[in-house]
Amino acid sequence: MSLTGNENHDISLTEAAHLTENYRNAAGTSATIAHYFGGAAIQAIMEQEGCVGIRIYYGLKDDGEKQLVITGVNSAGNDLYNGLLAERSLNCPTDCSAGNPLNS
Distance, in Å, from the CA atom of 73 to the CA atom of 80, rounded to the nearest integer, reads: 5
Q: What is the pLDDT of residue 7?
A: 87
pLDDT of residue 30: 84
Ranges of each domain in the chain:
34-92
* pLDDT at site 99: 87
User: pLDDT tens, 4-56?
Assistant: 888 889 999 999 999 999 999 998 888 888 998 999 999 999 999 999 999 99
pLDDT score at 104 = 87
Which residues have a Cβ under 8 Å from the Cβ of 12 and sit 6 or more positions away?
none
Strand, helix or coil for residue 102: coil
pLDDT of res. 1:
75
- The predicted-structure confidence for 34-48, as pLDDT tens digits, reads as follows 998 999 999 999 999
Q: What is the pTM of this model?
A: 0.85
